[in-house]
Structure 1
Amino acid sequence: MEVYTPANNLTRTAVLICPGGGYHTLAMDHEGEQIARWLAGRGVTGIVLKYRVAPYAYPVPMLDEERAMRLARSHAEEWGFDEDRVGVWGFSAGGHLASFLLAHFAEPLPEVAGYTPDAIDALPVRPAFGVLAYPVISMKAGLTHQGSLHGLLGEHPDPALVQDLSDELQVKADSPSVFLFSTTDDAAVPVMNSVKFYEAYVEKRIPVEMHLFDHGQHGSGLAGTKPGTAAWPQLLQSWLQRNGWMSNE
Structure 2
Amino acid sequence: MKKVLVFILILASNMLYAQEVIKLYDVVPNSKTSDITEKSETAADGITRVSQVVSPEIIIYRPEKPNGTAVLICPGGGYRILAITHEGHDVARVFNQWGVTAFVLKYRLPDDKTMMDKTIGPLQDAERGIQLIRQNAKQWGVDPKKVGVMGFSAGGHLAASLSTKYTQEVIENHKHTSFRPDFSVLVYPVISFTDSLGHTGSRDNLIGKNPYPGKIRKFSNELLVNKKTPPAFLVHAKDDGAVPFGNSVVYYEALQKNKIPAAIRLFEKGGHGFGMHNKKEAGDWMSELQQWLVKEKFLKK
1:212 aligns with 2:266: yes
- Post-superposition offset of 1:119: 3.5
The residue correspondences of 1:29-40 to structure 2 (distance < 5 A) are 29-40=85-96
- Post-superposition offset of 1:246: 2.4
Larger Rg: 2
Q: In structure 2, what is the equivalent of residue 3 of structure 1?
A: 60
1:164 aligns with 2:225: no
d(CA) in 2 for partners of 1:245, 1:146:
34
Relative contact order: is structure 1 or structure 2 higher (C-alpha 8 Å, sep ≥ 6)?
A: 1
Deviates more, 1:228-237 or 1:65-74: 228-237
The amino acid across from 2:254 in the alignment is A
Task: Count the aligned residue pairs.
Answer: 239
1:15 aligns with 2:76: no
Unaligned runs of 5+ in 1: 112-116
The amino acid across from 1:108 in the alignment is E
Identical pairs, percent:
42
- The answer (yes or no) to whether the contact 2:105–2:129 under 8 Å persists in 1 is yes
Q: In structure 2, what is the equivalent of residue 73 of structure 1?
A: 134
1:108 aligns with 2:169: yes
- The answer (yes or no) to whether the contact 1:20–1:93 under 8 Å persists in 2 is yes
The residue correspondences of 1:187-198 to structure 2 (distance < 5 A) are 187-198=241-252
d(CA) in 1 for partners of 2:88, 2:141:
20
d(CA) in 1 for partners of 2:168, 2:157:
16
TM-score after normalising by structure 1: 0.92
Q: In structure 1, what is the equivalent of residue 254 of structure 2?
A: 200
Higher strand share: 2
- The answer (yes or no) to whether the contact 1:223–1:229 under 8 Å persists in 2 is no
Structure 1 outlier segments of 4+, above 4 Å: none
The residue correspondences of 1:93-132 to structure 2 (distance < 5 A) are 93-109=154-170, 117=172, 119=174, 122-132=176-186
- The answer (yes or no) to whether the contact 2:110–2:121 under 8 Å persists in 1 is no
Q: In structure 2, what is the equivalent of residue 41 of structure 1?
A: 97
1:231 aligns with 2:284: yes
d(CA) in 2 for partners of 1:206, 1:89:
17
RMSD of Structure 2 on Structure 1 (CA): 1.5
- Post-superposition offset of 1:229: 5.3
Instruction: Report the CA distance shift for 1:247/1:228 in structure 2 as closer, same or farther (over 3 A).
Output: farther
The amino acid across from 2:207 in the alignment is L
Instruction: Report the CA distance shift for 1:31/1:172 in structure 2 as closer, same or farther (over 3 A).
Output: same
The amino acid across from 2:168 in the alignment is E
What do residues 57-103 of structure 1 show as CA deviations (whole Å, max 9, x unaligned)? 21111111101110111111111111121000000000000111111
Q: In structure 2, what is the equivalent of residue 114 of structure 1?
A: none
d(CA) in 1 for partners of 2:82, 2:281:
26
The amino acid across from 2:272 in the alignment is H
Task: Please give the secondary structure, in 2, of the residue aligned with 1:40.
Answer: helix
Q: In structure 1, what is the equivalent of residue 233 of structure 2?
A: 179
Unaligned runs of 5+ in 2: 1-57
Task: Please give the secondary structure, in 2, of the residue aligned with 1:61.
Answer: helix
What do residues 125-147 of structure 1 show as CA deviations (whole Å, max 9, x unaligned)? 00010100000000111210011
Q: Residue 62 of structure 1: which of 117, 123, 128 is its match?
A: 123
TM-score after normalising by structure 2: 0.76
Task: Please give the secondary structure, in 2, of the residue aligned with 1:49.
Answer: strand
- The answer (yes or no) to whether the contact 2:75–2:151 under 8 Å persists in 1 is yes
- Post-superposition offset of 1:157: 2.2
d(CA) in 1 for partners of 2:280, 2:294:
24
d(CA) in 1 for partners of 2:105, 2:257:
31
